[in-house]
Structure 1
Amino acid sequence: MRRRFKIRQEIQANIFLNDISLVEPFRRVGAGQPPQNNGDLTRSRRFALLPHVFEKMLISRYACSARDCWSVNKIMAPSSTERDELFKGFARALFKGDMAALYSVVTPDFLWTFHDGLAVTKSLAGAAAIAEHLAEQKALFSAQRFHDVAYHHAGDMTFMTFRVSETVRATGEQREQRGVECYTFRDGRLATKDVYRKPTGP
């Protein structure tokens, strides 16, 4: 059993040294001596180099893993199916004015920027600001209906195109606008919402 284990160690040592030799094919073995190929090293010298081999392999492996993980977390966005579920929950929460439900599908620092298509621009950060905006919209309009809603998933963003019909409560004025909403994601949730609207043409 010990002999098998020792043979396996020797095989692994040779594999490790061969891996390192691809990166660093020549190594000085003593001051004043010429470079020597790892393939020419004696078996005892190979084992003497193992600590250095392990160190280089671990540094290389974990450096790559950390970089890869950072890249994946940075660029990976929810799938189309996952986004559809997020938007269903988001729409239900907004319709009910349920901030707890809303913040189950958005990030804690979710930012909603809004332009009403006329003159008002807002940046809504936090549950209180969003709840206040929804209350203002409800007080301003006696009716507000969205039509032709379509989601377009593109890379790490999603765009929602729509048409909206609104009736101003105080005057009865009818408004028709078209718009687009741009969404970004982080950690499997909605991170930002940017709304752009403009009046429809005659």
Structure 2
Amino acid sequence: MGKNTRTLQSFFALIESGAIEEALELIDPELVIHEAESLPYPGDFHGPAGFVQLAEKVFGLADLSISDVRLLEDGDTVVSRSRATFTARATGRVLETEVVELYTFRDGRIADIDAFYKDTHAVVELLGS
């Protein structure tokens, strides 16, 4: 297991445990997170503050749990393939979908996250636009 994979696993564990400030220390100050324009939380989010802003938008719309995480590291990139379960706050409806995220690292920190949902349309239908 590579160094970047271990960093990403630590990041996930810190987020899950609620240690957000510690997790943010693993993010490059110039981080960019890319979300599809069709989602209810579209566009690019920048830096640790952008990560928090995105999380607030997502969790404002749904409870989200991640499972079956599989990681593959190649150089400065870690590919994460996981199962995401969204439970819409407005309706209580549930959607399970696969998500692939590309994490690029710079100097041991997460510098870029590009997220790809198996069915973006289903996420939009569940959470609204």
Please classify the TM superposition score into its range, dividing by the shorter chain length: 0.7 to 0.9
Matched, 1:197 2:117: yes
Matched, 1:129 2:50: yes
Equivalent pair of 2:5/2:72 in contact (CA under 8 Å)? no
Equivalent pair of 2:5/2:73 in contact (CA under 8 Å)? no
Q: Specify the code of the residue in structure 2 equivalent to 1:195.
A: A
Equivalent pairs, count: 118
Equivalent pair of 2:28/2:48 in contact (CA under 8 Å)? no
Say which of 73, 87, 90 aligns to 1:170. 90
Q: Any residues of structure 2 matched to 1:1-202 within 5 Å, and which?
A: 80-95=1-16, 96=18, 98=20, 100-115=21-36, 119-120=39-40, 121-141=42-62, 143-199=63-119
Equivalent pair of 2:4/2:105 in contact (CA under 8 Å)? no
Give the unaligned 5+ runs of structure 1: 1-79
Structure with greater strand share of residues: 2
- What is the CA-CA distance between 1:97 and the residue it aligns to? 6.1
Q: Structure 1 CA distance, aligned partners of 2:78 and 2:95?
A: 26
Q: Give me the CA root mean square deviation.
A: 2.3
Q: Structure 2 CA distance, aligned partners of 1:179 and 1:185?
A: 19
Q: Specify the code of the residue in structure 1 equivalent to 2:91.
A: T
Q: Structure 1 CA distance, aligned partners of 2:82 and 2:6?
A: 19
Residues 84 and 113 (structure 1), Cα distance of their counterparts in 2 relative to 1, 3 Å cut: same
Structure with greater helix share of residues: 1
Q: Structure 2 CA distance, aligned partners of 1:108 and 1:125?
A: 8
Give the unaligned 5+ runs of structure 2: 121-129
Q: Structure 2 CA distance, aligned partners of 1:188 and 1:106?
A: 9
Q: Structure 2 CA distance, aligned partners of 1:165 and 1:182?
A: 19
Residues 128 and 198 (structure 1), Cα distance of their counterparts in 2 relative to 1, 3 Å cut: same
Choose between structure 1 and 2 for higher RCO, CA contacts under 8 A separated by at least 6 residues. 2
